[in-house]
Amino acid sequence: MEYNDCNGFTYEDPEYGLGFGTECRKVGKWEPVERCHDELVYVQEPWYPGPGEGGGNGGGNGGNGGYVPIPPEGGTQPMTAPNARKIFSGDLTEEQWKKLENMLKKIINDCMGEGLYKELSKIFNSNNKISFNFSDKEKGAKYSPINNVITFNPNMESGTLLHEMMHAYQYKQKNDVDIWRNQTINSEIESHYTQYLYYCRDTVSYNESDWIKGKIRGVWA
């Protein structure tokens, strides 16, 4: 949100004497953006005036003013796939990390998916991340609680990732492989219902999924 920041000043004119003036410049401030109905996040949108627009000599590269991104702390480049790397680990290429991050962004953009991601980020910290592996040999995707690994076919989409993330969350509620195996049917019902609700709000992912193609077995794991 932009607004004018104005300050008054006085000056002495040799011919007319004491005078008053106002100097204004456009500035930016924190703007609340609603997320998930009951939570506010804040996005900073700084604005630096260009030459002739008041308040200094302009910012950035000395152009005509406008949005200038704030560089990362220390001047370093931002990490690739920060959301994905927070809960996942693996020997992935940069392109694979980007693919995983893009799917995860879709999930986080959904209120339910964001809630699941937050819970997983509490469970799977820097010492205990979910190992992630893209594999063409896997027909769909699966989560292995014994090794804490998600194996994922590169052709699968974000709804399938959400499904496997749900399995990781379910297992960690009991943290027992035998209980996990005995609750397979319940776990699948929960995960598929979660996936269904997600598809109801993200029709793009649904249209890319095996659900619409009649290959539901591709995500039953």
What is residue 126's predicted lDDT score, i.e. its pLDDT? 78
What is residue 68's predicted lDDT score, i.e. its pLDDT? 39
What is residue 2's predicted lDDT score, i.e. its pLDDT? 53
Query: What is the token pair recorded at 77?
Result: 């480049």
Buried b (16+ CB within 10 A) or exposed e, 159-190: bbbbbbbbbbbbbbeeeeeeebeebeeebbeb
Query: Residue 88: which residues within 8 A CB-CB, separation 6 or more?
Result: 100, 129, 130, 131, 132, 150
CB 31 within 8 A of CB 45: yes
What pLDDT tens digit does each residue of the chain (221 aa) get?
555 566 665 656 666 666 666 666 666 654 544 445 444 443 343 433 444 444 433 333 333 333 334 444 454 455 789 999 999 999 999 999 999 999 999 999 999 999 999 999 999 987 889 999 999 998 889 999 999 999 999 999 999 999 999 999 999 998 898 998 898 899 999 999 999 888 887 766 666 666 655 554 444 34
What is residue 125's predicted lDDT score, i.e. its pLDDT? 83
What is residue 177's predicted lDDT score, i.e. its pLDDT? 87
CB 191 within 8 A of CB 169: no
Amino acid of residue 211: W
CB 10 within 8 A of CB 19: yes
Q: How many beta carbons lie within 10 A of that of residue 14, not counting itself?
A: 5
CA pair distance 22, 89, nearest whole angstrom: 56
Tell me how far apart the terminal alpha carbons of the chain are, to the nearest angstrom. Answer: 46
CB 119 within 8 A of CB 169: yes
What is residue 65's predicted lDDT score, i.e. its pLDDT? 39
